[in-house]
Structure 1
Amino acid sequence: MLFFPPLSLTFGTEGAMSLLSIAVAVLQLYYVAVRVVVQQLFSRALPTPEFPVQKGAVAFVTGGGSGIGYHTAKHLAKLGMHVIIAAHNEDECRQAVRTIKEETQNEKAGVMLVPKRETVDGFEEHFGLNYLGHFLLTNLLLDTLKKTGTNRYSARIVTMASAVHYAGELHLDDLQSSCYYSPHGAYAQSKLALVLFTYHLHHHLTEEGSHVTANAVDPGVVNTELYKNTSWPVRLVKWMTSWLFMRTPEEGAATTIYAAGAPELEGIGGCYLYNGAKTQSSDLSYDEELQRRLWTASCKMTGVPDVTGICAGK
C-alpha cells in the first residue's frame, strides 16, 4: 500500500497522481466486487445437503452464535456430531446452544466494513478477526486434528471465504492498513488472506502425509448482520431487495455443511467451493510465494511456531 504524505494530497503533480492512484484502485475494487456479487445474486442457492448420521465426529464452529455459523452448527448437530460453538458474544453463544439442543435433541451441542478500529491485541479489526484469529486457532488445534484424522476419515478444516476476495490485494508491507485505510479494501484483503492461508496449509498437510484436509468455501451473497456497518443507502437497498436476491443464512450455510460432511470430499482439500462445487478462486490466491510470505508474517504476528518450516529454510 502506498503512503501518502499530508502535502501530497493537496499540492503539485505528485499529489494529483496520488489521488488518481487511490481513485483507480478504489474503482477497480468496486468493479470486480460488483461484477462477482451480481453474478452470485442471480445464481441458484445450493439446497441444504443431507448426509448419513455421523455420530462420533466433532465439529468446532466459529461464529456459531448467529447467521451462517449458527445454521451450520445446527445442521451438523442434527447429523449427530458433537458440536462446539465459538463466538465473541457469550450470551448469544449460550442461547444458540440452548436452541440447537431443543431443536435437534442433540445434547452435544466475523465483521465486515467496520470503521477503522483495532482488536484488543492491536490488530486492524478486519485482518485480526476475519483472518488472524482463524490462523491462530487452526495452528493451536493442528496437532489434535492430525491425531484424530485417519485413513478412512480425514479431519477437515473449512474456512469461510467470500467472493469479495476476487477484488482483494495483499499488502505485506502494510497488513494493518495503517498507511491508507479503506473498509472495503481491508475486508477484501482479509478474505484473500483466508484463501491463501487455506491453500498453503493444505499443501503442507499433504506433503506431511497428514490425514487432514483444508478447503475454503464461498457462501454466496447472504442476508446477515455483517451489513450493519454499511452506509444507510446500502442498508435501505438491502432491506428492500434482500428477500428477492439474497440468500438466507440457512441457504448460505449449505456449502459449509457440504464441505464439512460430504462423503465425496473425503481426503480432498486445497479447493475453493461455491454452491457445492469446486470453483476457480482469484489468480492471486494461487501465488505460492505470496502464500509462504503471508504464512511467515502471520506466525510472527501471532507468536506461533512455523509448522511448515519456512523460517527454518525448509
Structure 2
Amino acid sequence: MRLLQIIMPVLRNYYIAMTVLLQQLFRRSSPLPVLPQRNGKVAIVTGGARGIGFHTAKHLARLGMHVIIVGNNESDGRQAVTRIQQDTLHEKVEFLFCDLASMKSIRNCVRNFKAKNLDLHVLVNNAGVMLEPEGKTEDGFEKHFGINYLSHFLLTRLLLDTLRKSGTNDFNARVVTVSSATHFTGKVNLEDLQSSHCYSSHGAYAQSKLALVLFTYHLQHLLTVDGSYVTANVVDPGVVNTDLYKNLCYLGSFLKWMTGWLLLKSAEEGASTSIYSSVSPDLEGIGGCYLYNGERIKSADVSYNIELQKKLWTESCKMAVLPVSS
C-alpha cells in the first residue's frame, strides 16, 4: 500500500508531463503581442536571477518598469541585475535578498522593500523547487509546500497593502503566480499538508502547485469583495528547460538531455505567459484566471472548490502567523 502511494503520484505527474510535451511539439508557445511601455511602474519577481524569472524580469525592464529581483543568492542576483541593465539599457533593476525557506527572511525582505517607499504594481510569484528529497524549511515545513506555496502566500499577504495603494481604476495592480500542469494531479490534504504520512517528492510538488491555484482564486474573491484595484491570476509556463530538473532520476535526466531541445520550451518561451499576465491590457481588471500560452483555460476541477479554498487559506494564515482576514 505504501509503495503504491509513492508510485501513483510519479505515474500521474509523468502522464501529465508527456501530454503537455506532445502539445508543445506542435505548439511551443504563442508569440507575445506588442505590449505597452510601463514606465515608472514597479515589479517584484521572485526567482528572477535565473530561468523563467530572469526572462520575466528582463522583459518587464525592457518595458520601462522598475524591476526588483528577489532571490537567495546574492552573487547570482547581482549578476542578473547587471546582465539585464546591459541588455535593456535600463538602469532601474535591483536585487533584494530573500530566502523563501525562511519566514523571518521573507518578513525582512518586505521591510527592506517598504523602506524604499515605492509603489508596487506587479508581483510575480515565480520561484520554486521541484522533486526535492524529503526535507524541511527553516520553520519546519515540507520543502515544496513551504517554498513553492507558503512563502508566496506570506509574501503576497505582506505586500497586499502596498499593492492596494498602488492599483488604480486605469491600471490595477497585479499578482501573477506561477503554477504548472502538475496541479492537475495534485491533492491538497488538509490533514497532512506536510506530506509526512507517506512522502513522495512528486506528490508534494503537485500539492504545492495545486495550493497556488486555490490560493489565487480565493485571493481574487477577497479582492473583488473589498473592491480593491488588484487582480490575481495564475499561469502555467508549460514544460520548460530550466535547472528545476536537477533532481530527476538518471533515466529522466538522460531522456531530457536527448529530447529537451525538441520538446521542452526555452526559459524565454516559458516566461511569455508570466509577462503577458503582468502587463497586457487584455487582462486589465480581470482576475481569477488560469492562463496557458497566453490564453485563459480551465484548471483542475478541485481548484474551484470554494470550501477547500477557504480552508487552505485559514490553515495557511495559521502557519504564517497572520490574521485570517486579508
TM over 0.5: yes
User: How far has the Cα of 1:121 moved from its partner?
Assistant: 1.5
User: How far has the Cα of 1:56 moved from its partner?
Assistant: 1.4
| Residues 148/26 of structure 1: CA separation in 2 closer, same or farther (3 Å cut) | same
Partner of 1:116: 134
Secondary structure class of the residue paired with 2:191? coil
- Work out whether residues 6 and 200 of structure 2, in 8 Å CA contact, stay in contact via their aligned partners in 1: no
Secondary structure class of the residue paired with 1:179? coil
Matches within 5 A, 1:90-105: 90-105=74-89
Matches within 5 A, 1:98-177: 98-109=82-93, 110-177=128-195
1:80 aligns with 2:64: yes
1:58 aligns with 2:42: yes
Distance 1:172 1:241 in 2: 38
Matches within 5 A, 1:228-247: 228-247=246-265
User: How far has the Cα of 1:32 moved from its partner?
Assistant: 4.4
Deviations 1:77-127 (A, max 9, x none): 000000011011111111101111111111111110010011111111101
The one-letter amino acid of 2:41's match is A
1:251 aligns with 2:251: no
Secondary structure class of the residue paired with 1:217? strand
| Residues 23/79 of structure 1: CA separation in 2 closer, same or farther (3 Å cut) | closer
| Residues 303/173 of structure 1: CA separation in 2 closer, same or farther (3 Å cut) | same
- Work out whether residues 161 and 195 of structure 1, in 8 Å CA contact, stay in contact via their aligned partners in 2: yes
- Work out whether residues 22 and 263 of structure 2, in 8 Å CA contact, stay in contact via their aligned partners in 1: no
1:47 aligns with 2:31: yes
Equivalent of 2:234, from 204, 216, 227?
216
User: How far has the Cα of 1:45 moved from its partner?
Assistant: 1.1
Distance 2:10 2:60 in 1: 39
Distance 1:102 1:44 in 2: 28
User: How far has the Cα of 1:41 moved from its partner?
Assistant: 4.7
- Work out whether residues 9 and 185 of structure 2, in 8 Å CA contact, stay in contact via their aligned partners in 1: no
Secondary structure class of the residue paired with 1:50? coil
Secondary structure class of the residue paired with 1:215? strand
1:207 aligns with 2:206: no
Partner of 1:14: none
Q: From the CA coordinates, give the structure whose radius of gyration is larger.
A: 1
The one-letter amino acid of 2:36's match is P
Matches within 5 A, 1:177-216: 177-216=195-234
User: How far has the Cα of 1:19 moved from its partner?
Assistant: 5.0
Secondary structure class of the residue paired with 2:60? helix
User: How far has the Cα of 1:23 moved from its partner?
Assistant: 5.1
- Work out whether residues 48 and 251 of structure 1, in 8 Å CA contact, stay in contact via their aligned partners in 2: no
Partner of 1:312: none
User: How far has the Cα of 1:305 moved from its partner?
Assistant: 1.6
| Residues 133/153 of structure 1: CA separation in 2 closer, same or farther (3 Å cut) | same
TM-score under structure 2 length normalisation: 0.86
Deviations 1:183-220 (A, max 9, x none): 00000000000000000000100011000000000001
The one-letter amino acid of 1:53's match is Q
User: How far has the Cα of 1:255 moved from its partner?
Assistant: 0.3
- Work out whether residues 42 and 245 of structure 1, in 8 Å CA contact, stay in contact via their aligned partners in 2: no
1:35 aligns with 2:19: yes
User: How far has the Cα of 1:178 moved from its partner?
Assistant: 0.9
User: Which runs of structure 1 show a deviation greater than 6 angstroms over 4 or more consecutive aligned residues?
Assistant: none
User: How far has the Cα of 1:21 moved from its partner?
Assistant: 5.8
Matches within 5 A, 1:290-305: 290-305=308-323
User: How far has the Cα of 1:47 moved from its partner?
Assistant: 1.6
Distance 1:194 1:37 in 2: 22
| Residues 214/61 of structure 1: CA separation in 2 closer, same or farther (3 Å cut) | same
Q: Any stretches of 5+ residues in structure 1 without a counterpart?
A: 1-16, 309-314
Secondary structure class of the residue paired with 1:301? helix
The one-letter amino acid of 1:105's match is L
